[in-house]
Amino acid sequence: MQKPALALLIHGGAQNWSPQRWKARFDDACRDRRVVLMPDAALDPAEVHYAAVWKPVPGDLAAFPNLRAIFNLGAGVDALMADSSLPDVPLVRVAVADLTARMTEYVVLHVLMHHRQELYLRDSQREKRWAPKKQSPASAISVGIMGLGTLGADAAQVLARLGFRVAGWSRSERKVDGIECFHGTGQLDAFLKATNILVCLLPLTPDTTHILNRDLFAKLDATSPLGAPVVINAGRGGLQNEADILACLDDGTLGAASLDVYATEPLPADSRFWTHPKVVLTPHNAADTDPDEISKYVARQIERFEAGDALENVVDRGRGY
């Protein structure tokens, strides 16, 4: 007997996503399960027990009356949480070693880029200027990571191994070897005061919206060899007040920013971020979710679920992540 169907819903406009490639990978991973790439007029919605989704149109998931679980094809579930008609079934997010490693690469790349004065050195090269600046050791720089979850904790440990002083900030109390851990709003100021390079890997929730703003930047430590603090945001664009970032870069409150995510994506052509000399910009590809890895992860989870075991990495809807 064929197993209940899995519907694949991938937002049509999503950059860098090939729905056909995802479908092929899911067909391989799910073997005797019917995988249906939506929209599909021939599908009876009642056959669908599982949905694997990336930014589906709000309301689309409500069309499946027998849905048992939703698998988000990324780590961040903010787009789904915004759907007021989201069926009340377990919502699973991605937490796999492949995605974590990719994000750690991004974070380490950008921390090192600022620490090793790459913006200055590339300017010097363009101008044929032989003018080395004093180099300081990693131990002279404190990196503060907002969000000490799957991604933040891994990046923190790799940075600590490189010799940086590393602190992390989370909602609840955490312990990560070698990392100074802060939590809750009560410890936020102490965390910021100890931070020269701020890395944001928070989920976007009502509590974190626009958390990266002028008030917060003004509390960062500006006394390191870097001078003004640096901000790196690979969480979500909604975490940042973009006007504040630009104003703080212009008036020297911030020395530089690496941004991977934006309030509006793709980033509009008239955004000042494109040309700002202190901004290193990437197009929301700090860490891609890989169809090979994620299809296997979802297939494994469904097997567990059907065997009566608990699903992993289920989103707490009350917290929003």
- Site residue total, ligand NDP (CB under 6 A): 32
Q: Residue 74, interface with ligand OXD (CB under 6 A)? A: yes
CA-closest candidate to residue 117, choices 280, 296, 316, 294:
280
Peptide bond connecting 39 to the previous residue in cis, omega within 30 degrees of 0: yes
- Site residue total, ligand OXD (CB under 6 A): 5
Q: Segment 139-158, which members bind ligand NDP (CB under 6 A)?
A: 147-152
CA-closest candidate to residue 257, choices 279, 235, 241, 277:
279
Residue nearest to ligand OXD (CB): 74
Whether 258 contacts 114, CB under 8 Å: yes
Catalytic status, residue 236? yes
Q: Residue 16, class by beta-carbon neighbours within 10 Å (0-12 exposed, 13-18 middle, 19+ buried)?
A: exposed
- Report the interhelical angle of 19-30 vs 291-306 (nearest 10°): 40
Residue nearest to ligand NDP (CB): 149
Q: Is the dihedral of CA 268, 270, 274, 277 positive or negative?
A: negative
Look up residue 19 and give its two tokens: 């729905």
Q: Residue 289, interface with ligand OXD (CB under 6 A)? A: yes
Q: Residue 287, interface with ligand NDP (CB under 6 A)? A: yes
> Could you tell me the smallest distance in angstroms from the CB atom of residue 171 to ligand OXD?
18
C-alpha to C-alpha distance for 34 and 51, rounded to whole angstroms: 12
Beta-bridged to residue 244, according to DSSP, are: none
Q: Residue 100, interface with ligand OXD (CB under 6 A)? A: no
Of the listed 236, 272, 300, 319, which one is catalytic? 236
Whether 304 contacts 310, CB under 8 Å: yes
DSSP state of 48: E
Determine the interface stretch with ligand NDP among 16-24, 25-33, 71-79, 215-223 (rule: CB under 6 A): 71-79
Q: Which residue type does 47 have? A: E
Considering CB distances under 5 to 8 angstroms, the limit depending on partner class, which of ligand NDP, ligand OXD, none binds residue 196? Answer: none
Of the listed 33, 102, 165, 284, which one is catalytic? 284
Q: Segment 176-235, which members bind ligand NDP (CB under 6 A)?
A: 201-205, 207-208, 234-235
> Could you tell me the smallest distance in angstroms from the CB atom of residue 96 to ligand OXD?
10
The two beta strands, 91-92 and 69-72, are parallel
- Decide whether 19 or 76 has the Cβ nearer to ligand OXD: 76
- Decide whether 48 or 103 has the Cβ nearer to ligand NDP: 103
Beta-bridged to residue 240, according to DSSP, are: 212
DSSP state of 317: T
Q: Residue 75, interface with ligand OXD (CB under 6 A)? A: yes
- Decide whether 69 or 287 has the Cβ nearer to ligand OXD: 287
Q: Segment 92-131, which members bind ligand NDP (CB under 6 A)?
A: 95, 103
Q: In the set 76, 225, 238, 283, which binds ligand OXD (CB under 6 A)?
A: 76
Q: Residue 55, interface with ligand NDP (CB under 6 A)? A: no
Catalytic residues: 236, 284
Q: Which residues lie near ligand OXD (CB under 6 A)?
A: 74-76, 94, 289
